[in-house]
Amino acid sequence: MEEKQKGSESKIELLSKTGLFSGWNNDELGEVLQFSENRKIDEGETIYASDTKPEGFYLILSGSVGVYSSVEETILAEFITGDIFGDFEFMTGKNRTATAKAEKSCEILVFPKKGQTLDGILNENPELYAKFLKAFLLVIAGRTRAATGLLKENSPVTRELKKQLYSDKLTGVYNKTYLEENLQKLLIEPTSLIMMKPDNFKDINDTFGHEIGDETLVFLSKLATHSLSSKSTLVRYAGNEFAVITPGQNRDEAYEFAKKIQEFIHKTDISPVTNDPNFFVKLSLGIAMYPEHSENANELIELCVNLPLVGRKRGGKCILFAEDAE
């Protein structure tokens, strides 16, 4: 009897330390235990499987439990002594979306015990049910606030998500999505948008193959990233077309900057990629200025995006402003 009492006291202590039952008194926690049951789980044994109806939620009394995705058997979370798991799906009535297994032999407290339901608890002890429901809602609200905190503008999680969203998979520089979603925010002072495209990139693909073409883009992107000023941003817009955004630049400065980029690319030795010391990239560039050509980011992109193609049709190695397309 004494051992059983000590067991109940240790369970009550564990329950009181969980977010769900924090603040409950011993009598209330004792009532929770009356509606619960102990289970011993062997290492590797499944506690619940994905896409099954929840029977309850669980408090780990000893050992550890892993929760795995149903598709790739990837571990999503690991719970240890004192942790509660499986509560959300049980309370919402949704089928399990993952599988829980004992990582080590463990003992768990299951609420409610076999043969008992929440409706049954409501009928037997409505005050306990109401308190439990309120506690659950508070826990969910807390989780929501925590998730919102993680996703604040400058949080590490948000920065990593943006990095994934805005990074070009091939070159590692910013991508088209970044340009389209952020250019307007950058237009707070005279700004140049320079779009550039190799005149002879088809020759690279035809002569050396598309894989070498991709490697050339990566090679040039890395060189350009290191050579641009700190206030300039390089973007891979689409295919072999790139953009450079530079705040604080007037028309004359933008033209001189475009010339420097062009000369840099024309002189760059790409033989480390092509193994041909005689092949060089030729480049045409287009320039659209804020606010001279437009105060709208999308319009600036539209004015600029086809200028390199116009330059190539005019013989290549061109630098054109938005009005030069006419």
User: If you write DSSP's letter for every residue of 243-293 in order, what string do you get?
Assistant: EEEEET--HHHHHHHHHHHHHHHHH---HHHHS-TT----EEEEEEEETTT
Angle, helix 2-16 to helix 26-34, in steps of 10 degrees? 110
pLDDT of residue 225: 85
Amino acid 294: pLDDT:
96
> In which residue ranges of the chain is pLDDT below 50?
none
Are 56 and 129 part of one and the same domain? yes
Residues 125 and 181 in one domain: no
User: What pLDDT is recorded for position 247?
Assistant: 96
Whether residue 136 is found in the same domain as residue 179 = no
Provide the domain limits for residue 38: 1-152
Beta bridge partners of 233: 245
* Cβ atoms of 86 and 48 closer than 8 Å: yes
Is 184 found in the same domain as 131? no
Domain end position, chosen among 91, 121, 152: 152
**Would you say residue 300 lies in a domain?**
yes
Domain endpoint, select from 85, 118, 152: 152
Q: What CATH number does residue 186 fall under? A: 3.30.70.270
Is 121 strand, coil or helix?
helix
Give the pLDDT score at 166: 87
Q: Answer whether residue 281 is part of any domain.
A: yes
Question: Does 171 fall in a domain?
Answer: yes
Same domain, 147 and 194: no
**Within a domain: 161:** no
Q: Give the domain CATH number at 42.
A: 2.60.120.10
DSSP character at residue 73 = -
User: What predicted TM-score, i.e. pTM, was given to this entire model?
Assistant: 0.56
Please say whether the dihedral angle defined by the alpha carbons of residues 253, 286, 261 and 283, taken in this order, is positive or negative: negative
Do 143 and 183 lie in one domain? The reply is no
* Number of domains observed in the structure of the chain: 2
Q: Do residues 228 and 107 both lie within one domain?
A: no
Residue 157 maps to a domain = no
Instruction: Give the C-alpha distances (Å, rounded to integers) separating 42 from 62, 65, 72, 282.
Output: 12, 11, 23, 68
The answer to whether position 158 is within a domain reads no
Domain boundary among 152, 181, 211: 152
Residue 159 lies in a domain: no
In this structure, is the dihedral angle defined by the CA atoms of residues 208, 209, 215 and 219, taken in order, positive or negative?
positive
Packing angle between helix 176-186 and helix 156-166, nearest 10 degrees?
120
Alpha-carbon distances, residue 27 vs 60, 108, 302, 313 (angstroms): 21, 21, 70, 85
